[in-house]
Every structure is written in C-alpha cells, then in structure tokens.
Amino acid sequence: MSFAIKKLSLVALAGMLAYGASPVFAQTITLNFLTAEKDETVAPVIEGFEKLHPDIDVVHTTVPFDSMNATIEARVGGQDPSIDVFLVDSPRVPAMASRGYLANLNDEREKADAVSNDVAMGIISYKGDIFALPAWTSTQMMFYNKDLLDKAGIAYPGFKAEDRLTYDQVVDEAKKAQAAGAKYGFIPEQIDRYYQLQPLFESIGGGPGLTGEDMLTPDVTNPKWIEAATFYSSLFESGVSPRGVPVDQMSSTFTSGDTAFYIGGPWNFAAFNATEGLHYGVAPVPYFAGGKPVVPTDSWAIAVSPYAAHPAEAKMFAEYFSLDPEGALLSVKNNPIPPVNEIAYKTYIETIAGLDPEIGPAAKEIMTYELANNSVSRPRSIGYVAFEEIMNRAFSDIRNGSAVQATLDQAQQQLTSTLARIQ
C-alpha cells in the first residue's frame, strides 16, 4: 500500500515539476513506523494520518513479536535514523528510557493526561517524565463453556462485579466439570507468564514481587507469594490445568470444547465466535477470598526514537495515534484490544457490546468495570524485563512440578544478583 502511495506521489511530483508547481510537494517526507503488528492492523490509522498530512508518507515495517526486542536493541540502540516512531510494550518503557532508546515526550503530558487514566500514564513514566504516549491497553475476563457446565450441573457464573467467584470456587467447579467429562477444568491463558500470574499474587496481597524505591529489590518469597504460588502449583498437580501445552496453542483447548473455565482477553472473541458449536459465556476474573480482585492490564504504547530522521513528524503521528480520538479509534479498528484514549474507548466498547446479543453487553460491562477499578500495571522498574524473564522461568518450573519454596528462593537469589548489575 505504502509502496503504491509512494509511486503516486512520485508521479504527482513529476507532474508538478513539469508545470512548475509549488515546492511543497518536493518536501514529501517518509516516516518509518516499526511495530510487531500485521500491516492490516495499523493500515487504518496510517491512512487516516496520511489523509490529514498528504505531505507525509508513513511506511510501516513489521517484525515478529518475539523479535521486537532484538530489533530495537540493534536499530535504535545503534542510533539508526531509519526508525522514526515505534510501538513499545509499555512495561519496557523504564528500561528502554534508561538506555536512551526513547525520546522524552514530557511536553505532551498535559494532552495525554486529558484522555488517559492514571494507570496508563504511570506505566509510561520514568523518573517523573513520560517517554511514550499510551496507545492500547488490555484487560481480561473468564470465559466458560456452557455445554461442559450444563453436563456437570453447574450454574453459569454471573457477569456482575458482585457475582465474582473466588479462585477456590472456580477450581471446585472446574473439578466437577472434569468429573463430568471436561478434559481441562480451568486455564489462565498465558499460563506461565508474569502478565497472567501477577493478579494471583496481587489479589492475595503478596505484592508484585519487586519493592524498594526504584522497584529493584526482589520480594518473591514472602508468605503470601508462597501461598499463591502453591495454589498455582496445585492447578497442575491436580490436572485442573494442563502441563506442556504452549501458550500460543492454549486457546485451541477452549475452541475444541475441552476446557470448562478459561481466563483470557478480548482478543479471543474473534476465534471463539467463529467456532461452530462452541457455546460460551463470560464472567469477571476470580479473586482470592479475603483479598481484592486484580486484573492484568496494559499493552503497547507509541514512542519516538531519539535518533529519528523526522522527530517532529514522528511526534505528530504519535499524537494522532494516541491523543486524537479519531486516530486512536482507527488504531483499534482491526485490532481486538481497547484503546487507552477515553473518547475512543466509548466507541470501541460499543462494537464489543454488539458482537453477540448475549455475550456483548456482559463483556462491555466486565471490561469497563475492570479497566476502571481493578487494573494493576506491572511493576515500574528499569529491571522489569530481566525480572519478568526470571519469573517466567520460575513459573514454568513450578508448572512442571518443581517445589514451590525452593524455586522461588532460587528466583529470589537470581533476581538479587541480576538486578544488582542494573542499578
């Protein structure tokens, strides 16, 4: 697409030169935009921006999700001017800002504050300044398979906040469903990743696992952490959740009708709705009795490279993507997750509400409520990425049957020595 546009503007340029037209066209600039998204996801927002700024040609480059870090390290870290603006996984903002990979965007703070909530603003801050503009966010809910619940004679959980089940209730019902024929009882989608599991530890009151002024002191062996991790471990010991199924194959356990309860995000609607014969409902994410409800949040933010060839235009594009309700809405047109922009969100959530006469309104209520009340960001720390990596390994070990206390002790030790090099 951008290729065609480039060609068009070249033709236009040639025409203008021939007729001695204004030099404005000679200044058409190319803005390089890097993401881990498919072309069609960001096409609408780019189109919208180019319509407003005919003299700017936004060229989208996509790299696979798993390679985004390596790409940023090599290209922005190498002071390469051929990336102007890029999407950044928001919990990585502090680490990347501390290494100088993100331009300071503090002069946009007021405008960003006006359309974004405090949680979203917090996660893009480092040492009091902001280094990205909030773009997308995420939230989760619990999907349940109606047929499997019917078979076990279990009542469907309600979708109101006050109907929220505790983790123990869900596991009890999951076991009943398994006794009645379900292959798996209860699956949190990203089963051994910190994003998915942080709510367990936060809900029980164990904290995010990092403390201290700079959030660089590990705290993953306190009694509450052990308690929540023991619960997590028991999911696999009892066979309620599967071992060995990779995260990206997880949703197929729900579409194939094998799973009774499944925690996941709105990105699942497309596949779930397209699956013939799958009857499902949605409920809020559970919580620990005596604790508080906590739901994971955050997604990508949009950042400007400090080495951008066109920093002013890059900033304009980031503003359009984030702060302009029209741009923010276009950015989620082909993307299942919510925009942070509060005005755009109002329109976005109506499309979710309209997905299905029964599930839609329930999903709208759950998502809006959770985003406003129970979202907890990942710890804001320049050591977050290293922390996440070590914790993901520890979770994976616990999932595979390692002793809880020993694994967390080991993680604590490893975190202490790794984070010491980052301080």
The binder of other proteins chosen from 28, 71, 222, 334 (CB under 8 A)? 71
123-162 positions binding other proteins, by CB under 8 A = none
Give the nearest distance from C-beta 73 to other proteins in angstroms: 6
| Binding of residue 393 to other proteins (CB under 8 A) | yes
Give the nearest distance from C-beta 423 to other proteins in angstroms: 9
Query: Which residue, 288 or 345, has its beta carbon nearer to other proteins?
Result: 345
Query: Which residue, 2 or 203, has its beta carbon nearer to other proteins?
Result: 2
| Binding of residue 29 to other proteins (CB under 8 A) | no
Give the nearest distance from C-beta 402 to other proteins in angstroms: 6
Query: Which residue, 86 or 288, has its beta carbon nearer to other proteins?
Result: 86
| Binding of residue 36 to other proteins (CB under 8 A) | yes
246-265 positions binding other proteins, by CB under 8 A = 246, 248-249, 252-253, 255-256, 265
Distances (CA, A) of 260 to 17, 148, 230, 237, 266: 66, 6, 22, 18, 18
Point out which span in 19-27, 169-177, 361-369, 398-406 binds other proteins (CB under 8 A).
Answer: 398-406
Interface residues with other proteins (CB under 8 A) are 3, 34, 36-38, 41, 59, 61-67, 69-71, 73-75, 77-78, 80, 82, 95, 99, 183, 242-246, 248-249, 252-253, 255-256, 265, 267, 270-271, 274-275, 300, 335-337, 385-386, 389, 392-393, 396-397, 399-402, 414, 417-418, 421-422
